[in-house]
Amino acid sequence: MPKHVAIVMDGNGRWAKKQGLPRLAGHNAGMMALKEIVKKSSVLGIEHLTVYAFSTENWKRPQDEVGGIFKILIYYVDKELAELHQNNVKVSILGDYGLLPKEAVKKLEEAMERTKDNTGLCFHIALNYGGRDEILKAVRAIAKETAEGNLLPEDITPELFSKKLYTADLPDPDLVIRTSGELRLSNFLLWQTAYSELIFPDVLWPDFTPERLEECIKEYQGRTRRFGGILK
């Protein structure tokens, strides 16, 4: 069983268009799908689930869609928090979420505070997150320490660099799933996914079921991970 599964939840808008519905209906359906995937991940014994909910590039979308996404997020967190807590799920946020609307920030911080001592599934939501932005922030932090004389160039290791990322205390993803058939990472966990197994199911996110998740995990389990080495 992979310890850490990361998911790019792609295809909400296209799902809505196929149904003849507004795009926000797709995002709402996507949140319902996410609820079931969180439940299944917890049952399967996955330790970390990271989902790409809103990227640094998503601000380019129409203002009404962006605002609607945050309203859906607030509703989801508010509605599901009690159940997440009851199921021993720990919630955390990856990204510069402080730039989100105040009500969204408040609800997210409530969720993190209430679940901080839970010991089950660690559920990480990437919000206002971008892989390049994350790497730049890490580089700037290391450059500042070096300029202040607190760090020598030879002290900069992959382990040190990893500690400067939003995912400092997390294992790298074993498995990355991107729905909708698109074959790219779209600026998601660029440093952390160097040796992740990638699976691209041709299904739009609202139609991604717990059974589909199990299929992806079975495919992952059939692969051989060499991490750049060879099998003996």
The C-alpha atoms of residue 66 and residue 74 are separated, in whole angstroms, by 13
pLDDT tens for 154-170 read 999 999 999 999 999 99
Total Cβ atoms within 10 A of residue 62: 9
Q: What is the pLDDT of residue 228?
A: 74
* Cβ proximity of 122 and 50 under 8 Å: no
Please report the pLDDT score of residue 227 as a whole number.
Answer: 72
Three-state DSSP class for residue 198: strand
pLDDT of residue 136: 98
Task: Please confirm, yes or no, whether 172 is among the known catalytic residues.
Answer: no
Q: Tell me: pLDDT of 231 over 90.
A: no
Say whether pLDDT at 232 is over 70.
no
User: Residues 34, 9: contact at Cβ < 8 Å?
Assistant: yes
Q: Is 41 left (phi over 0), alpha (psi -120 to 50) or beta?
A: alpha
Structural tokens at position 220: 């992952």
Which residue in the list 10, 12, 128, 174 is annotated as catalytic? 10
What's the rounded mean pLDDT across residues 34-53? 97
Per the CB < 8 A criterion, the answer to whether 3 and 221 are in contact is no
Percent of the chain at pLDDT > 70 equals 99
d(CA 146, CA 125): 31
The phi and psi torsions of 50 (rounded to 5 degrees) equal -115, 130
Give me the mean pLDDT over the 10-34 stretch.
Answer: 96
pLDDT beyond 90 at 118: yes
What are the structural domains of the chain? 4-130+172-221 (3.40.1180.10)
Q: Tell me the pLDDT band of 230, cut-offs 50, 70 and 90.
A: low
SS3 label, residue 94: strand
Q: Is 155 a catalytic residue?
A: no
Q: What is the mean pLDDT of the chain?
A: 96
Tell whether the model's pLDDT for residue 140 goes beyond 70. yes
- What average pLDDT does this structure show over 221-232? 79
pLDDT at residue 59 tops 80: yes
* Set 12, 28, 58, 202: catalytic member: 58
> What is the number of other CB atoms lying within 10 angstroms of the CB of residue 97?
19
Secondary structure of residue 7 in the 3-state scheme: strand
Per-residue pLDDT averaged across 104-131, rounded? Answer: 97
Share of the chain above pLDDT 90, in %: 95
**pLDDT reading at 34 higher than 70:** yes
